[in-house]
Chains A and B, each alone.
Chain A
Amino acid sequence: AQRVTQPEKLLSVFKGAPVELKCNYSYSGSPELFWYVQYSRQRLQLLLRHISRESIKGFTADLNKGETSFHLKKPFAQEEDSAMYYCALSADGNTDKLIFGTGTRLQVFP
C-alpha cells in the first residue's frame, strides 16, 4: 500500500536550533516526493520537491530510497518557519494524485 508517515504531530524548537521534520513513505516503485507548507491563514503551498534537489528558505530534503525517507531539514530555524508541514507522495504514473502524511506542526520560539 502507498503510505506516507510523519511520526511527529508537533515539533517545538528555539530560534537558531536545527530542525528535522521526519517523513517515511511506503511505495514499491519510483516515488516523486514533495514537501508542502501551510502558514497561518494561508493556503497550502509547495515548499520543495525531491526532483529539483533545491534549497528553499534554507530547507533541504534528501530522498533516501534505502530508508524510504524524505526528511526535511534546516540548520537554523527562524520564527517565520512556524507552520504546518506536509510530506506528500505522487505514486501514480500520469496523474496528480498526491498521498499526504498527517502533517507536523513546527513551532519556533524566540
Chain B
Amino acid sequence: KAGVTQTPRYLIKTRGQQVTLSCSPISGHRSVSWYQQTPGQGLQFLFEYFSETQRNKGNFPGRFSGRQFSNSRSEMNVSTLELGDSALYLCASSRTGARDQPQHFGDGTRLSIL
C-alpha cells in the first residue's frame, strides 16, 4: 500500500507570492490533516478535512487555506507569503479521523521564502 504522498518536495518562493501544496492520502483514508513544522514552534496543526469538509482548524491566519477533493486528495494554499511561512509542511491521513486512530504522515514539502 502506497504511503501518503506530498508534492512537491521542495519549493522556493518570494514574499508576496502564493503557493499550493498537494497531498495524496493512503488509499481508503478519508481524513487529511496538515501541520506546519518549524524549529521555533515545532509541529502545529493547520486544519483537517474529511469528506471534502473542513472539520477543524488551527490558529493560523486566513492566508492559509485548504480543500479536499472527492478522491480525498487535499491541497493547501498559502497566499501573500511571508518570510515566517518558511517551514516543513506535513500532511497526514487516517481512515476516519477518529481520535484513537493513528495518523500516517508524508515526507513533507519544504517551503523556503526568500
- Cα of A90 to Cα of B99 in the assembled complex, Å: 6
Q: Are A43 and B106 in contact (CB under 8 A)?
A: yes
- Cα of A95 to Cα of B105 in the assembled complex, Å: 16
Which chain A positions have C-beta within 8 A of B99?
A: 32, 90, 92-95
> B75 an interface residue at 8 Å Cβ cutoff?
no
Which chain A positions have C-beta within 8 A of B3?
A: 43
Contact stretch, chosen from A12-20, A45-53, A57-65, A69-77: A45-53
- Cα of A99 to Cα of B31 in the assembled complex, Å: 17
> B33 an interface residue at 8 Å Cβ cutoff?
yes
Q: Are B100 and A51 in contact (CB under 8 A)?
A: yes
Q: Are B102 and A95 in contact (CB under 8 A)?
A: no
**A-B contact number at CB 8 A:** 66
> B52 an interface residue at 8 Å Cβ cutoff?
no
> B107 an interface residue at 8 Å Cβ cutoff?
yes
Partner of A96, one of B42, B90, B94, B108: B94
- Knowing A43-B107, A46-B103, the reply to whether A94 touches B98 (Cβ < 8 A) is yes
Q: Are A94 and B33 in contact (CB under 8 A)?
A: no
B78-114 to A contact mask, C-beta < 8 Å, 1/0: 0000000000001010100111111111111000000
What is the interface of chain B, defined by CB distance below 8 A to chain A?
Answer: 3, 31, 33, 35, 42-45, 48, 50, 55-56, 58, 90, 92, 94, 97-108
Chain A to chain B contacts (Cβ below 8 Å), 30 pairs: A34-B102, A43-B3, A43-B106, A44-B105, A45-B104, A45-B105, A46-B102, A46-B103, A46-B104, A49-B102, A51-B100, A90-B100, A92-B56, A94-B97, A94-B98, A94-B99, A95-B31, A95-B48, A95-B97, A95-B99, A96-B31, A96-B56, A96-B92, A96-B97, A96-B103, A97-B56, A97-B58, A98-B35, A100-B44, A102-B42
